[in-house]
Structure formats: C-alpha cells, structure tokens
Structure 1
Amino acid sequence: KRSCTHRYCFAVCIKQDQRSRHARGTVPTSKERGVREEQIVKKIFATMVGSSSSWSTALVKISPYTFASIGIAISIGVSVLGAAWGIYITGSSLIGAAIKAPRITSKNLISVIFCEAVAIYGVIVAIILQTKLESVPSSRIYDPESLRAGYAIFASGIIVGFANLVCGLCVGIIGSSCALSDAQNSSLFVKILVIEIFGSALGLFGVIVGIIMSAQATWPSKG
C-alpha cells in the first residue's frame, strides 16, 4: 500500500507540473522533463526518509555516554544469553542421555562449565568497560575525543557480546553431541572434548579484541 501511495504522489506531481507548463504555453523537452522528474523524486524521498545530513546530525547529537552504556549492556547481556542458550542445549541432551547411561553425567558437566565461562567473559569485560567511564565537563561532552571514547566502548561491547553469543551456541551444540556420543561409545569423549576446547576459544578471541578496542577510550581532561 505504501509503494502504491508513493507512485500515486509521484504521478500527481508530474501531472500538476505538466498542467502548469501547458498553462504558461511552455512545453518542456525530454531532457528538461527528466531533470524535473528527478527533482520531484528527490523531494518525495527527502520528505519520506529525511536527508542524510539530518541522520548524521542526530547520531552526533547522541551523548557518548549513551553509546558507552549500551555497549556495556550488550557485553554482559548478550554474553549471558549465549551462555544460557548453550547450557540449555547441552543440559537437555545430557539429562536425556543420562537416563540410559548414568555414567556420563560427571564427565560431561565440563561442557556446562565451558558454557558458563562464556558468561564470565562478558562479566569481566563489562567491568573493564565500566571502569573506562569518566566524568567530562558538559561543555566537552560532544568533543571528538569524547565521541571517540563512547564509540570505542560501544564497539567493544558489541564485539565481546556477539562473539560470546556465537561461542556459547558452538560449545552448547558440541557439548550436546559429546554427551550423546559418550553415552554410545565412551572412547569418543576425549576426541570430541578437544573440538569443544577449540570452540570455547572463539569467545577468548572476542574478549582480546574487545579489551584492545576499549583501550582506545580516552576522555578529555577536565583542565
């Protein structure tokens, strides 16, 4: 419906332009008509979406503390989501397989520990990012250095949060397969555990890059 409305507005604008030109006795050439139609399209698009400069101005006017706080929230929130998701996948398979093979319960708890470590990564990075926040005079909140610090903390939180989300899913799926394989053949446990260790290393990559990124967050001095 929206696209039909836009086409209708465009057609109405073209008709009105043609009528005004005919009333003045001036018939536009094909080139002039094309330029005029392009101008009308730009006006309609600017009315519906807004110019790019307005969006960039709005983003710059957002406080860097807002970006920093969102980054901290994403760091811990998405990491805990990944850990909970992984524990859910591993735990459900482990409980189901333990009914037929109770011996696998103790060994496969290590998969749950690996998933829990993902949440710990997020908590540690969130604490580090929290220590990066500093008070800045109101006159210098929108300085380039303040914006850079806010964006750095925001990017660090996104990197750590989503890296741990994927890591938690990876470890959870591998841990689920490990529990089912161990219930069938106990010799497969150590081999699959090696794969699980490599999967848990994915979260460490995000933590390392996130800490390096947060080191770029320097706020302007009060002096």
Structure 2
Amino acid sequence: MADEAPPSYTPFFGIMGATAAMVFSALGAAYGTAKSGTGIAAMSVMRPELIMKSVIPVIMAGIIAIYGVVVAVVVANSITDDNSYTLYKSFLHLGAGLSVGLSGLAAGFAIGIVGDAGVRGTAQQPRLYVGMILVLIFAEVLGLYGLIVALILSTK
C-alpha cells in the first residue's frame, strides 16, 4: 500500500499554489503601486521637490511581488512527475501559495491606502513623513509574515 502511486491530479494542487503565490501577491503589489502613484501625482503638483521622497510606498509595494516570486519558484521547483510528489506535499504547496499570496494582497491594499494618504498629507505637513513610513513598515510586515509561513510550509 505504501508503494502505491499518488493520484494523477496531485501536481495540480502544487501548480495552483505557485500560481496563487504569484497572482495574489502581484495583484497586491499592483494595487499598492497604483494607489500610491495617484497620491504621488496629486502631491507633486503642490510640492514637486518631494517626488523622490514620496516614492517609498511604491518601492514597498513592489517588494510584496518579490515575496510571491520567491514562493512560486520554490514551489515550482519542488513539483516532480514521479511518485515522490505526494498529495500531502501538493496540499502543503497550495497552502504556502495561498499564505503568501493572500497576505501579499492584504499588505498591498494597506500600502496603497496608507501611501496615497501619506504622501498627500506629507505635502501639507512634512512632519507626517516619519509616521507614514512607520505605518508602511507595519503594512509591509503583513506580507513578510505570509512569506515566512509559506517557506515553512513549502519545505516540510
């Protein structure tokens, strides 16, 4: 019974894990970039000298996509077509992809909203900048938590 081959659909779940990691984290990064970018564009009309200082939310949103790429590559490289890739392993990979993907989506939304409001507010009151950076760090770490869980799941 232990030498029995896993079902033919076993790799599907691993592939869906890699896909979920990339798609959801890229969606979060795209939303964070777009939302923060509109804030930067609105702010730059009033204070064009602050444009480079206000790019921080866009950079932080891009990092979210990197988390997804890392997990997608780890999962995709673990998928094999022989009997060593079990259903259990494929479910772990699905969980890893959903973990980093959905936490990256949430982090991207948070970064976008905080980045938009933060850069607009910084144009009016420069002392707001440090507070914006702190909140952005707390939003970014949500994606990092998902990455940590995904790496633990994908290496079991």
Per the normalisation by structure 1, the TM-score is 0.65
Aligned to 1:175: 115
Per the normalisation by structure 2, the TM-score is 0.91
Aligned to 1:163: 103
Q: Deviations over 1:2-29 (max 9, x none)?
A: xxxxxxxxxxxxxxxxxxxxxxxxxxxx
Q: Comparing both chains, which one has the higher relative contact order based on Cα–Cα distances under 8 Å and sequence gaps of 6 or more?
A: 2
Moved over 6 A (4+): none
In structure 2, distance between residues paired with 1:104 and 1:172: 18
* Aligned residue runs from structure 1 range 1-223, under 5 A: 63-137=9-83, 146-216=86-156
In structure 1, distance between residues paired with 2:94 and 2:10: 9
Structure (1 or 2) with the larger CA radius of gyration: 1
Q: How has the CA–CA distance of structure 1 residues 117 and 182 changed in structure 2, closer, same or farther, with 3 Å as cutoff?
A: same
In structure 1, distance between residues paired with 2:149 and 2:56: 26
Contact kept in structure 1, 2:11 and 2:80, CA below 8 Å = no
Q: Unpaired segments of 5 or more residues in structure 1?
A: 1-59, 217-223
Q: Unpaired segments of 5 or more residues in structure 2?
A: 1-5
Cα distance, 1:62 vs structure 2: 6.4
Contact kept in structure 1, 2:14 and 2:93, CA below 8 Å = yes
Cα distance, 1:64 vs structure 2: 1.2
**Aligned-residue CA RMSD (Å):** 1.6
